[in-house]
Amino acid sequence: MASLLSLLNRWRLIATGGPEVPKAPANELIRFGILGAANIAPMALITPARQHPEVIVSAVAARDRAKAEKYAKKHKIEHVFGSYQELLDSDVVDAVYVPLPNGLHLEWTVKALRAGKHVLLEKPSVSNEREARELFEGEVGALRGKGKELVLLEAFHYRFQPAWALFLSLLDPPNIADVFVDMHLGNMFPPDDIRFNYGLAGGALMDLTYSMSVARGIFRSEPEECTSCEVQTMPPPYDTRCDHTYDATWKFPNGGTARTRGTLKGSWVEHMKTRLPAVVEHRPVVISEDKAKGEETLRTRKVTIVNFLMGMVWHRIDVEDTFVVRRKDGGEEVRRWTEKESKKGYAWEETGLGVDRKSEPYWLTYKYQLDAFVDRVKGREGTGAWVSGEDSIGQMRMIDMAYRKAGLPLRGVSE
């Protein structure tokens, strides 16, 4: 009963955004501008900004000024621009949020950086590995060469939440044998959505890029090979180069394997049943030895996180350890038992990880992400969670590998 009440209270606070926090003095504020009156911005930036003392959303630009004005009124944003470039040219923002269709990420991120703005860039960072290198090595390198240190972050928000840190702390990457990540989403986007537009770098592997990111994050390494990738593509008259469903398998350097699958056209029943799990199976490892008895104990660990994407809504982390005591000489099994434990990480305090940071159970993953972004801009040490340029390049490389294996054209490549 108590946990049901706390769940309902958390959902109420998520829905209302919780209490608004007082703002720091004007000269300490990071002023954000949003490129595009995008659907995701209220959840990913506008609400988290209200919860952050050092952030305000001060401007929005849309291709159609009237649309930007309506959006600004609804979300109480002071400055309105009728084009993205006008916002970048203005001096009313210090940082820019780029929630544009994937195929426009490179162009507008480069323009924002050149305008001297920090950038919070929606996932997937760009269209392919070549573009990722152009951005994170070429462009960022050139700015650094000129002595400009601007923050650029691919918005893999799930990485910043306490539940994800707790989940990672339970893993033993060198001994991971197999990973399964499932992103079965109900059918919620119309066929003309940006996600199914090849020209805008759409496709399910792109949109649900998280599942590949999760596999890389679990192994803490880059895949050596995409061993298979089955896709289902949009039917004519829609763009048949756009996958709406994928099922890929991978080989990682420690010999471990992963399966990542996802769909944007799934059933809601299956969505509710599966709820975005990541399952990690380890190899047996020797954890102790009894020399006198000539025995050793092995542990085989399985860790599951359900709802890795937005843990604050609800999540569960299950650890299942199977122990085997065996003879060191012949390997004969002496004893076997299993221990199961369930863990939660709705706030840093609950994780027991010793992270000395304020957090609230109703904070969105995006709020933790914004905290990390602000910490970087201000030169403060964060919690350790970050997505480096190298990481973003590795991510696009993995997506390219999947498209190649599936026999589909890479995104962002004009024919």
Ligand X SMILES: O=C1OC[C@@H](O)[C@H](O)[C@H]1O
Ligand Y SMILES: NC(=O)C1=CN([C@@H]2O[C@H](COP(=O)(O)OP(=O)(O)OC[C@H]3O[C@@H](n4cnc5c(N)ncnc54)[C@H](OP(=O)(O)O)[C@@H]3O)[C@@H](O)[C@H]2O)C=CC1
Residue 123 appears among annotated catalytic residues: yes
Q: How far is the CB of 218 from ligand X (least distance, A)?
A: 18
Q: Return the residues of window 102-131 that contact ligand X according to CB under 6 A.
A: none
Q: Report how many residues bind ligand Y under the rule CB under 6 A.
A: 21
| Residue 207 near ligand X by CB under 6 A | yes
Q: Return the residues of window 113-172 that contact ligand Y according to CB under 6 A.
A: 122-123, 155, 157
Residue 372 contact partner, candidates ligand X, ligand Y, none, CB within 5 to 8 A by sort of partner? none
Q: How far is the CB of 62 from ligand Y (least distance, A)?
A: 3
| Residue 38 near ligand Y by CB under 6 A | yes
Candidate segments 23-31, 59-67, 112-120, 272-280, binder of ligand Y by CB under 6 A = 59-67
Q: How far is the CB of 258 from ligand Y (least distance, A)?
A: 22
Residue with Cβ nearer ligand Y (126 or 179): 126
Q: How far is the CB of 409 from ligand Y (least distance, A)?
A: 19
Q: How far is the CB of 126 from ligand Y (least distance, A)?
A: 10
Write the secondary structure of the chain as one string of H (helix), E (strand) and C (coil).
CHHHHHHHHHHHHHHHCCCCCCCCCHHHCEEEEEECCCCCHHHHHHHHHHCCCCEEEEEEECCCHHHHHHHHHHHCCCEEECCHHHHHHCCCCCEEEECCCHHHHHHHHHHHHHCCCEEEECCCCCCCHHHHHHHHHHHHHHHHHCCCCCCEEECCHHHHCHHHHHHHHCCCHHHEEEEEEEEEEECCCCCCCHHHCHHHCCCHHHHCCHHHHHHHHHHCCCCCEEEEEEEEECCCCCCCCCEEEEEEEEECCCCCEEEEEEEEEECHHHHHHHCCEEEEEECCEEEEEECCCCEEEEEEEEEEEECCCCCCCCCEEEEEEEEEEEECCCCCEEEEEEEEEEECCCCHHHHCCCCCCCCCCCCCHHHHHHHHHHHHHCCCCCCCCCCCHHHHHHHHHHHHHHHHHHCCCCCCCCC
Active-site annotation holder among 67, 111, 117, 123:
123
Candidate segments 39-47, 220-228, 271-279, 384-392, binder of ligand Y by CB under 6 A = 39-47
Binding test (CB under 6 A) with ligand Y, winner from 14, 59, 88, 104 = 104
Residue with Cβ nearer ligand Y (174 or 277): 277
| Residue 33 near ligand Y by CB under 6 A | no
Residue with Cβ nearer ligand Y (32 or 252): 32
Kindly list the catalytic residues: 123
Binding site for ligand Y (CB under 6 A): 36-40, 44, 62-63, 67, 99-102, 104, 122-123, 155, 157, 194, 200, 207
Binding site for ligand X (CB under 6 A): 207, 309
